Amino acid sequence: ISLLPASSGYDWGSYLKKHGYLAASVSSFRHAPLCAQWEDIEVGLRVEVLNAHSALMTKVYWIATIIRLAGYKALLRYEGFENDDSHDFWCNLGSAEVHPIGWCAVNSKLLVPPQALHNHITDWKSYLMKRLVGACTLPVDFHVKLAESMKYPFRQGVRVEVVDRSLVSRTRTAVVDTVIGGRLRLIYEDAGLGPTGEVLSDFWCHMWSPLMHPINWSVRVGHLIKETDKSVDMSSHPTFRKVFCDSVPRQFKKLRTVYVEGGFFEEGMKLEAIDPLNLGNICVATVRKVLLDGYLMVGIDGVEMGDGSDWFCYHASSHAILPPGYCQNNDIPLTLPPGYDQATFTWPKYLEETRSVAAPRRLFNSDPVGHGFAPGMKLEAVDLMEPRLVCVATVQCCVGRLLLLHFDGWESEFDQWVDCESPDIYPVGWCELTGYQLQPPIGPGTENVLKSANFIIFLRTKGASKPKQKM
Ligand code: MLZ
């Protein structure tokens, strides 16, 4: 299945309005620009916004009220239309055309009402005085804060260690090629170039992704790293003509410290873990190796290749590893090793059969967390199996810290569990704000297209058990 032609300006507004969808609030995304400022942003705020209905040659502005919020997007109504919603329009509050009240005065810009209102009200001055008494507006430093939160500690030419997409049990050295909204396009140092100079293997991740590390991390914690193939010549690629600079730990998000006194994870202990290659599945799993600094290599029971090539590194504080019994306690399906039956599987029996022990509960990061997500909320989320893609998505369900995400228009096969603080989920309007391309739902809302698309996926996956997808 190929994706729809990418659209840069996805019409979130019509999609939300047509179906009455809600969107998660910007304040629920700790890594998102303006997250801390968003508490003050609410329906009823007044802003000065470009007047798109003016016949004048110069840019003029008018006052509008926030009628509805969806992530960064606001449904605005120009002052004067009162209860008439027919001119309402969606606008990204992060865009350069929206300002706090008073901005026009300070910057010598004209406030001119939209043409449809010209004959409507004659004494604008007293009308506005009445309408604006006691009204709130955006914080004055809104755009300054926005600009500040969109500075990133990475730039082209910075070297990092990142998971090898062709062999997830090891890392590989890569160079930052592009930075958009804190997401990095990384090119493996020995990726190779195709006939037209195109990069043969790259990886996208957020700068706070747990899959990315500073240079020397792998050797330090004891993780396997692919030796860079020096015979591969990348020098004709513009990114590789830059002066390189090794990334250092302070450029990365600090992980929660784990205490190993009083016992830590040990090789052979059983747990439940999100399958790194099928992120919609929480599986029976085993600690295969304990690395330094609280990192673990985890294998999924019953489907392991046996050579360690499909082990995956999770930090002990990761949301992706859970104590045995977690799924049952929370009424969500646990994916069992082949040959086991949902009706008869019990953890105590399984531990006995496999002569193993459960990883103790206290070792897991079970901090209770309040978050603002609820089932049905819309957001923009990375398809972690193809991490270049940021897609229109819905929170399907919430379990503790975990959110099950569904990609609109795609089969549930593509659903993924993510942590509520994952840096790979963004508010509605984030792509527009940062200039990242958003993947719209396939089959833009029409039943037929949706059905046939599902059908194609069905054909693709029919027969075989769910195919493993490459990262
Ligand atoms: N190549 C993949 C793209 C899937 C993207 C889905 N994103 C939710 C496929 O066609 O299967």
Ligand 1 pocket by Cβ (under 6 Å)? 1, 383, 386, 389, 391, 407, 410, 414
Helix (H, G, I), strand (E, B) or coil at 57: coil
Residue 180 confidence (pLDDT) above 90: yes
* Closest alpha carbon to 321 in 205, 400, 415: 400
pLDDT digits (tens, 9 = 90+) for 92-118: 999 999 999 999 999 999 999 998 887
Task: Please report which confidence band the pLDDT of residue 218 belongs to, taking 50, 70 and 90 as the band edges.
Answer: very high
The secondary structure of 311-353 as a DSSP string is -EEEETT-TTEE-TTHHHHTT-PPBPPTT--TTT--HHHHHHH
Q: Give me ligand 1 centre to Cα 220, in Å.
A: 36
Arithmetic mean of pLDDT over the chain: 90
> Beta 98-99 vs 89-92: how paired, if at all?
unpaired
Q: 18: buried, middle or exposed (CB in 10 Å: 19+, 13-18, 0-12)?
A: exposed
Residue 1 confidence (pLDDT) above 60: no
Atom of ligand 1 nearest to the CA of 469: 11
Q: How many CB atoms lie within 10 A of CB 158?
A: 24
Q: Give me ligand 1 centre to Cα 183, in Å.
A: 19
Which segment of 47-61, 67-81, 381-395, 443-457 scores lowest on mean pLDDT?
Answer: 443-457
Atom of ligand 1 nearest to the CA of 457: 11
Q: Give me ligand 1 centre to Cα 244, in Å.
A: 33
pLDDT digits (tens, 9 = 90+) for 234-291: 999 999 987 789 999 989 888 877 776 789 999 999 999 999 999 999 999 999 999 9
pLDDT of residue 5: 37
pLDDT digits (tens, 9 = 90+) for 19-64: 999 999 999 999 999 999 999 999 999 999 999 888 888 999 999 9
Residue 7 confidence (pLDDT) above 70: no
Atom of ligand 1 nearest to the CA of 393: 8
Task: Output the six-digit token pair for 85.
Answer: 């919603």
With the most atoms of ligand 1 within 8 angstroms of its CB, the residue from 204, 379, 386 to mutate is 386
Percent with pLDDT over 90 in the chain: 81
With the most atoms of ligand 1 within 8 angstroms of its CB, the residue from 385, 442, 454 to mutate is 385
Contacts with 51 (C-beta within 8 Å, 6 or more apart), sequence order:
60, 61, 62, 78, 112, 113, 114
